[in-house]
Amino acid sequence: MNTRELIEKAEALVRNTGLFIKEELGKVTASDIEAKALNSLVSYVDKEAEKMLVSGLLELTPDCGFITEEDTPDDDSKEMVWIIDPLDGTTNFLRQIPHFSVSVAFRVNDIIQLGFVYNIMLDEMFSAGNGHGAFLNGRKISVSTIELFNETIIATGFPYENRDTLPFVEILQSIMIQGRGIRRFGSAALDLAFVAAGRIDAYYECCINRWDVAAGIIIVKEAGGKISDFSGGDNYDDGKEIVATNALIHDQLLAIIQKHNV
């Protein structure tokens, strides 16, 4: 299978999975919901969506491994690995807040080659290929051109655990004072996609997982953005710390985070 065919089939699978999720909106009952950890919820929708993705991707790339959020055993020892978050924004979905996504990335020899983030309720497919640019429903996209920090819109997220041990309030306060606005949408994958499309100027978060950010990372990079950890280094792909910006305000945002993240 050539790369173009793989992209088309993978994108169609992601979209179909998103349509399944959309059809289940409002159907999940309290008895269908499990608590995986503190403030981390899962339902049959997450699990069925993951099964759809895994079975479909196995047909496309039979000798592959997976890193997933739900029940599929992780196997990142293979040359080809799919990194999957079947429903990023589960809490939004369960509360019928129309902001959640499917996130799928394709890694070959430890390098992310493809990324797909599907904004289910708006039928928006964000995608990117290594060295080939970033796209929204087939149209090329790029990050914003905002240079002045007082004009920035910045998104963030809060970790499920250890909320009292991290300097969220101080960082948020500095950004609110110095920037134009701050948002907390509830889907890390869509936050990254929105940076890539220039809808917001930056996103930062800590204590999340690689399946939340793997697809979004390549989309931001291919759209001309910059990504680092809180120290400005490259230790971000495991999701522990990530700062993604339009590149023009990257150092300014890092300075605020580093001031408080001691």
Tokens 């999720």 correspond to: 21
Instruction: State yes or no: 63 annotated in a binding site.
Output: no
Give CA torsion, residues 107, 240, 176, 173, to 10 deg.
180
Instruction: Quote the pTM value.
Output: 0.93
> Do 188 and 101 contact (CB within 8 A), yes or no?
no
List beta partners, residue 40.
37
Please report the pLDDT score of residue 163 as a whole number.
55
Single out the residue of 92, 15, 12, 90 nearest to residue 47, CA to CA: 90
Other CB atoms within 10 A of residue 3 CB: 11
Helix axis angle, 210-222 to 188-196, nearest 10°: 0
43 backbone dihedrals φ, ψ, rounded to 5°: -135, 180
For 164: left if phi > 0, alpha if psi spans -120 to 50, otherwise beta; the answer is alpha
> 95-109: per-residue pLDDT in tens?
999 999 999 999 999
In this predicted model, what pLDDT tens digit does every residue of 39-87 receive, in sequence order? Answer: 555 778 989 999 999 999 999 999 999 999 766 777 778 999 999 999 9
Which H helix or E strand runs over 104? strand 101-108
pLDDT > 70 fraction of the chain, expressed in percent and rounded: 91
- Residue 23 annotated as binding site: no
From CA 245, how far away is CA 230, in angstroms rounded?
Answer: 12
Query: In angstroms, what CA-CA distances link 241 with 8, 20, 26, 119?
Result: 31, 31, 33, 23
- Domains of the chain, start order: 3-141 (3.30.540.10), 149-260 (3.40.190.80)
Q: Over 80: is that where the pLDDT of 207 sits? A: no
148 is an annotated ligand-binding site residue: no
> Is 212 annotated as a binding-site member?
yes
* Residues 42 and 33 sit within 8 Å (Cβ to Cβ): yes
209 vs 90: CA distance, rounded Å: 14
pLDDT tens per residue, range 149-188: 999 999 998 766 555 556 778 888 999 999 999 999 999 9
What backbone phi and psi angles, to 5 degrees, belong to 118?
Answer: -105, 115
Report helix, strand or coil for 204: strand
87 has binding-site annotation: yes
